[in-house]
Amino acid sequence: MKTEKVWDVFISHASEDKNSIARPLANKLAESGLKVWLDEAELFVGDRLREKIDVGLIKSQFDVVVLSHSFFAKEWTRSELDALVSKEIAGNKAILPIWHNLEFEDVRNVSPILAGRLGISTGKGLELVKSEIVKAINEIGNKRRREHPVFAGNMTKKVLGSLPVGSILISNGVKSDFTPTLTEELGSIDCREHVWKKLKQIGYAGKKCYVFCDWAGYRAHLAARSIWT
C-alpha cells in the first residue's frame, strides 16, 4: 500500500542551524508553493517527538538535509540521515543535500554516499538554494510522472476517443516474444475507429490497457518496472 504524501519537503537539520538556515529556507520554499515539514511548525506541547518526526519523514516526498558540523556531531541526526539514505536506496525517497559551512572533505569523511552527489552550498545564498531545490523537485517530479501511465484501466470506445493525440496505447497482454499484443500511437480523434477494431480483433475492447503520454514515457516506465500485471 502506498503512503499518502502530505508534505512536499521534510527539512532535516540540527537545532543550531534552525535560525540561520532551516527556518528561513522553509519560509522561502513555502513562498514557492511547497508544503514544508519543519519541526517547530508541526510539533506541539505534549507531542511525542520521535513519533511525530517519523510521520513527517514517511509522509514527505523529498528530504532536504542541512549538512553541517553541528549536524554530523549529533547522534540522532546521523541516525536520521542513515534512515533517509536507506529509504532512498529502496526507491521511496529523494534526498536533496545542502552543505552549510562544509567542504567536500568534511562530507566525504562522514558520508561518502552524499559526497558523491551534487549538493548546493548555503554560501551561495538562500535564494539560490531555494531555486535549486524547487528546480530539482520539478525535474524529479516530471521524470516520475513520465514513468506512469496517463490511463490504466478498461479501454472503452469513449475513453479511446478522449485520449490525447500522440499518446501510446498498450494492451495488457504479451505475445510469445514478450512484446505487447498491441502497441499503437494514437492519431487524430477521427482516425481511431481502426484502433478500436484492432482492440476488438485481439479481444481487448473493454479490457485493461495502458496509455502513456509518448514513446519516451513508455520506455521510462519499462525501465522502471514491468507493467504486465
Q: What is the pLDDT of residues 49-90, one digit of tens each?
A: 444 455 556 677 788 888 889 888 877 776 767 666 665 654
Record the pTM. Answer: 0.56
Same domain, yes or no, for 140 and 186?
no
Taking only the tens place, the pLDDT of each residue in 117-134 is: 667 889 989 999 999 888
Residues 94 and 205 in one domain: no
- Say which range, 96-105, 134-143, 211-220, has the weakest mean pLDDT: 134-143
Question: Does residue 96 share a domain with residue 15?
Answer: yes
Last residue of a domain, one of 104, 128, 144: 144
Whether 229 is in a domain gets the answer no
Domain end marker among 89, 113, 144: 144
Please give the tally of structural domains in the chain. 2
Q: Which residue has the cell 532535516?
A: 12
Residue 33 sits in a domain whose CATH number is 3.40.50.10140
Backbone angles phi, psi at 83, to 5 degrees: -65, -40
The answer on 131 and 80 residing in a single domain is yes
How far apart CA 168 and CA 150 sit, in angstroms, is 10
Q: Please identify, among 113, 144, 175, the residue that sits at the C-terminal boundary of a domain.
A: 144
Q: Indicate whether 34 and 129 sit together in one domain.
A: yes
Residue 120 lies in a domain: yes
- Whether 1 is covered by a domain: the verdict is no
Would you call 151 exposed, middle or buried from its count of C-beta atoms within 10 A (0-12, 13-18, 19+)? Answer: middle
53, part of any domain: yes
Domain that holds residue 208: 151-224
User: Out of 80, 88, 105, 185, which one is annotated catalytic?
Assistant: 80
Does 154 have pLDDT greater than 90?
Answer: yes
Q: Is residue 29 assigned to a domain?
A: yes
Q: Report the distance separating Cα 141 and Cα 137, nearest Å.
A: 6
Residues 104 and 166 in one domain: no
The phi, psi pair for 207, rounded to 5°, reads -110, 175
User: Are residue 22 and residue 93 in the same domain, yes or no?
Assistant: yes
Q: Does 17 lie in the same domain as 59?
A: yes
Active site residue 132: no
Residue 183 DSSP SS3 = strand
Query: Does the pLDDT value for residue 113 go beyond 70?
Result: no
Whether residue 217 sits in one domain with residue 172? yes
